[in-house]
Amino acid sequence: MISMQKVSKVYPNGVVAMDDLDLEIRDGEFLYVVGPSGAGKSTFMKMIYREEKPTGGQLLIDGLDVGKIKDRHVPKLRRQLGVIFQDFKLLPSLTVYENVAFALEVVGADTSSIRKQVMDVLNLVGLKNKARNYPDELSGGEQQRVSIARAIVNKPKLIIADEPTGNLDPETAWGIMEVFEEIHRRGATIVMATHNRDIVDKIRHRVIAIENGKVVRDEEKGAYGYDV
Amino acid sequence: MMFKTSLRHLREGFKGTLRNGWMSFAAISAVTITLLLVGVFALVMFNINEISDNVENDVEIQVFITRTADESSVEKLGQNIEQVPGVSTVTFSSKEDELAKFQDQLGDDAAAYGTVEKDNPLHARYIVKAQDPLELEEVAQSVSSLENVDDVKYGKDYIDKMFAFFNGIRIGGLALIVGLTLMAMFLISNTIKMTIFSRRREIEIMRLVGAKNSFIRWPFFIEGLVLGMLGALVPILVIYFGYDVAYSALQPSLDQLNSDIFKLIDPSTLTVQVSLVLLALGAFIGIWGSTTSLGRFLKI
C-alpha cells in the first residue's frame, strides 16, 4: 500500500523532519506511529496525504509516486484516502449529515447516492439518529465519529488518523477505537499517529517509533514502549 | 450533476456577498461611483465627438474678393477656386448679399448705418468647403495665392482651441476613470479576501476531502461577478433614464440656435450601448478583482 525509500524532508528553515526513512506498509495493515512530539510524526502523516512533499527519496502509494504528482492531481489522491484529525475539523454551520455529505458533494456525486452512502456510514459510526444535529450539540466523541464518517464515506482503502483520540477522555477514546477496528475489519489500511499508551498496549497492532526523522523501532503486535 | 454543482457555486457566491455585508457594500459603491463617472463621461464624449464632427464638416473658408475686381474676373476666380484640389463646393455671395446679412444681424439698429447702402464697404466673397476638413489649411493657402483674392479666413485659431479643449477633457476624464477603476478592483479584491479568510476552514476541509481547485474557486469567482454587476446596476439606471431627461431638457434650447453643429445624439441607441458597456465593465472589474485575490490564497 505504502512504500517509502530513503524519504527525507528538510524544511526551508533547515529543520530535518525526515531523514532517509525506509518503510513498507502492507495492504490491510493497522499501523501505530508513536514517538515524542516534534520527532517527525506529523510530517510523516502529512507527506502521505501530500500536504508536504518529500525533499528526497521515493514515497509510493499504490504504486503512485506521491512526491512527483502535480498539484492539480492532488485532489484525485485525496479522494482515495480518508484523513482524521485530533480537532475533528467539522464545519459548525452544517449539520452532521451535511458535514459528511460535504465530502461527496465536492466529488460531484448525485443526491440519491449521497443520501444512501451518508446514512450507511452514519449507521456504521452509530450516529444515525443525530444526522440533523449540529456539531456543537454533540460530545467530543460523537464529533470525532462524524469526522470518521466523513473520512470513510468515499470508501477509501487508506485511512490516515493524526491523534484521533488526543482530545477525548479515555472511555470515549475506546469507543472511537472500536470504530477504527470495524473499519479495519472491513479491509481498510489504517495509519494512526497516537500518544495513547493504553490503546497501543491493549489493541495490539504493528508499531513504529519515529525519532529524529528515523524509524527507531518497528514491531509486529508491539507495545507503546515509552514511559510517560 | 453538473447542474447541481453549478447551483451550489451560485448559492455560495451569493452567500459570500451577504456574509461580508459592509465590505460588499463598499466594493459595490466603488464600482457604482466608477461606472457612474464612466457612463456620464462616455455620454459627454460621444456628444463631443458628434459635435466636433459637425464642426469639422461645417468649417468653411471665406475668400474675400478684391473690391476692384470686375464681374468677369470674379467669375474667373470662382472657376479657379473650383480647380483647387480638395475643394468640394464654392458658393458666391455678392456685396449686396453680405450687406443684407449684416443688416439682418443688426435688426432695428440698421437704420443707424443708413449711409452704408450708398457706399457699401463690404467685400464680395466666395464660401469654399473642403472635401476633408483636415486639409482646410492647404486649400486655404492655395486659394489665397490666386488672383483677385484680398484675404482668406477660416477660423483656424478658434478650431484649434476647441479641439485642444476637447482633447483636454478626454485625457483628464480617462485618467480619472483609470484611477477609479483600479480603486474599485482593489476594493473588490479585498472583499473577496475577507470571504476567503472567513471560509478558510471550509476551504481547508474541501482540500482534504479532494475538492478540485476549480470547485473551490467558482464561488469566489461568482461573488466577484455579482459585486461587479450589482455595482453596474445604479449607473445603468441613471444613464438610461438620466440621458433621456437631459436630452429632452437641452435639445429644445439647442434647436433654437438653428445650427447644424449643436445637436445631441438621440438617446434610443446610445443609452443601450453605453449600458451594455457599463455592465461588461462591471463584470470585468469584479472578475479581475476576485481572481487576483484567489491566486495567492488558494494554493494547495
Which H, E and C letters describe B261-272, residue by residue?
Answer: CCCCCCHHHHHH
Q: Is A111 on the interface with B (CB under 8 A)?
A: yes
- Chain B residue with CA closest to A148: the answer is B209
Chain segment A5-15, per-residue pLDDT in tens: 999 999 999 99
Q: Is B214 on the interface with A (CB under 8 A)?
A: no
- For residue B22, what pLDDT is reported? 79
Indicate if B279 and B183 belong to the same structural domain.
yes
Residue of A72, A91, A111 lying closest to B205 (CB–CB): A91
**Domain residue limits, chain A:** 1-80+156-228, 91-154
Query: In total, how many domains does chain B have?
Result: 2
Structural element, H or E, at residue A41? helix A41-48
Domain ranges, residue B105? 60-154
Indicate if B270 and B165 belong to the same structural domain.
yes
Indicate if B34 and B88 belong to the same structural domain.
no
- For residue B193, what pLDDT is reported? 80
Report how far residue B243's alpha carbon sits from residue A86's, in angstroms, rounded to the nearest whole number. 63
- B102: CATH: 3.30.70.3040
Q: Is B249 on the interface with A (CB under 8 A)?
A: no
Query: What b/e string do you get for B151-182 counting C-beta neighbours within 10 Å, with b at 16 or more?
Result: ebebeeeebeeeeeebeeeeeebeeebeebbe
> For all residues of chain B together, what is the average pLDDT?
81
What are the φ and ψ backbone dihedral angles of A83, each rounded to 5 degrees?
-120, 135
Report how far residue A56's alpha carbon sits from residue B6's, in angstroms, rounded to the nearest whole number. 41
- For residue B257, what pLDDT is reported? 73
- Chain B residue with CA closest to A147: the answer is B205
Residues of chain B in contact with residue A103, where contact means CB-CB under 8 angstroms, are 209-210
The grid coordinates of residue A118 equal 451518508
pLDDT category of residue B298 using cuts at 50, 70 and 90: low
Indicate if B278 and B180 belong to the same structural domain.
yes
DSSP H helical segments within chain B, as ranges?
A: 2-19, 21-58, 71-83, 95-106, 136-144, 156-198, 200-208, 213-256, 267-297
Residues of chain B in contact with residue A115, where contact means CB-CB under 8 angstroms, are none
Domain end, chosen from B113, B134, B154, is at B154
pLDDT category of residue B300 using cuts at 50, 70 and 90: very low
Chain segment B257-282, per-residue pLDDT in tens: 766 677 788 888 888 888 998 899 88
Quote the distance between the C-alpha of residue B248 and its chain's center.
19
- For residue B200, what pLDDT is reported? 82
CATH superfamily, region A1-80+156-228: P-loop containing nucleotide triphosphate hydrolases (3.40.50.300)
